[in-house]
Amino acid sequence: MEKASSILASIFGSRESAATVASIFVYPIKSCRGISVPQACVTSTVIKAPEMETLKIPLNRVCDVINDISVWEWSGSALDEGNEASEWFTKYLEKPSCLVRFNTASEIRAVDPNYAQGYRTVFSDGFPFLLASQGSLNALNELLEEPLPINRFRANILVDGCNPFSEDLWKEIKINELTFYGVKLCSRCKVPTIDQNNGTSGDEPTQTLMKFRSDHALHLKKKQGKVFFGQNLVCKDSLSATGRAKAVVVGDPVFVQQKFSSSADAPI
């Protein structure tokens, strides 16, 4: 009987939560510092930087459209947030800059259809959500000379209460009536090596991750010399605009509905 229950749980998921949402982070501006929120609902954006006055960006004004904006392989138009934002970033970054918003009225940026067909994202690197666990961070920090905060990995959802790297196997999870699909282990670029407070970079955590979280160390099918930390997600409910709005809230239980059999079977 116990064996049968175990098999059913692996197929349909357990009724017991596998983890709890510990933190939620949003990133109003690509590559800028994340903001911790109690739930994933944002209605306005405030931008701050050391020795700079606060820049407030209203999200309901009419903006000029500019072309030739690109993120990786995608290019298209975007909405110009205006001269004040341009001058603010130009002053702080000490190079000509402008701030743009994704033009949802006329542009579509699809996620890689090899991993999730029909889903969209905006200016994020490839997928709309990134999940990581505190257990995974703790396991990594035990190997590092200087522990790193979760902000290095720019996750949207940080969960706690599960074993290190359990999230590798989460094929389908449910959080507060929202269904998320784990569609791709997150291969890490240089960003985790950059201190989010001062912009300086180093060799860690990539150097340590290469020892036990590379495609070779995980026995993944594709061998491209990459390291992995976290799971990229899409949300099933985002395909439908009908119904009441739902949110992920700190403290929500995470229910695993389906799992990959091993990290080697997880898509990368």
CATH, residue 199: 2.40.33
Q: Tell whether the model's pLDDT for residue 263 goes beyond 60.
A: yes
Sign of the dihedral defined by the CA atoms of residues 127, 19, 36, 144, in that order: negative
- The pLDDT assigned to 166 comes to 96
Beta-strand ranges (E) seen in 106-199 are 109-110, 120-121, 129-133, 157-160, 170-175, 178-187
What would the mean pLDDT of 57-65 be, rounded to a whole number? 79
Q: How confident is the model at residue 8 (pLDDT cuts 50, 70, 90)?
A: very low
The torsion region of residue 11 among left (phi > 0), alpha (psi -120 to 50) and beta comes to alpha
Inside any domain, residue 242: yes
Residue 194's domain comprises 13-41+111-265
Among 161, 137, 136, 163, residue whose Cα is nearest residue 149: 137
**Percent above pLDDT 90 for the chain:** 46
Least confident residue range of 6-15, 46-55, 156-165, 246-255: 6-15
Report pLDDT digits (tens) over 204-248.
Answer: 999 999 999 999 999 988 888 999 999 999 888 776 655 556 789
Inside any domain, residue 52: no
Domains: count for the chain: 1
- The pLDDT assigned to 243 comes to 52
**Percent above pLDDT 70 for the chain:** 88
> Which residues on adjacent β-strands are paired with residue 57?
45
Inside any domain, residue 87: no
Report pLDDT digits (tens) over 119-133.
Answer: 888 777 778 899 999
What is d(CA 248, CA 166) in angstroms, rounded to the nearest whole number? 20
CB-side neighbour CA atoms (13 Å) of 22:
15
What is d(CA 26, CA 34) in angstroms, rounded to the nearest whole number? 6
Inside any domain, residue 22: yes
What is d(CA 183, CA 85) in angstroms, rounded to the nearest whole number? 35
Q: Tell whether the model's pLDDT for residue 2 goes beyond 50.
A: no
- The pLDDT assigned to 46 comes to 75
Largest CA distance in the chain: 68
Among 262, 20, 16, 256, residue whose Cα is nearest residue 135: 20
Inside any domain, residue 91: no
Among 121, 33, 32, 131, residue whose Cα is nearest residue 72: 121
Inside any domain, residue 27: yes
What is d(CA 161, CA 179) in angstroms, rounded to the nearest whole number? 19
- The pLDDT assigned to 42 comes to 28
Q: How confident is the model at residue 114 (pLDDT cuts 50, 70, 90)?
A: confident
The residue to which tokens 């994020």 are assigned: 124
Inside any domain, residue 56: no
Instruction: Say whether pTM exceeds 0.85.
Output: no
What would the mean pLDDT of 60-84 be, rounded to a whole number? 87
Inside any domain, residue 156: yes
> Which residues on adjacent β-strands are paired with residue 258?
172
Q: Tell whether the model's pLDDT for residue 165 goes beyond 70.
A: yes
Among 198, 190, 197, 185, residue whose Cα is nearest residue 151: 197
Q: How confident is the model at residue 145 (pLDDT cuts 50, 70, 90)?
A: very high
Contact 85, 55 (CB under 8 A): yes
What is d(CA 200, CA 30) in angstroms, rounded to the nearest whole number? 18
- The pLDDT assigned to 103 comes to 87
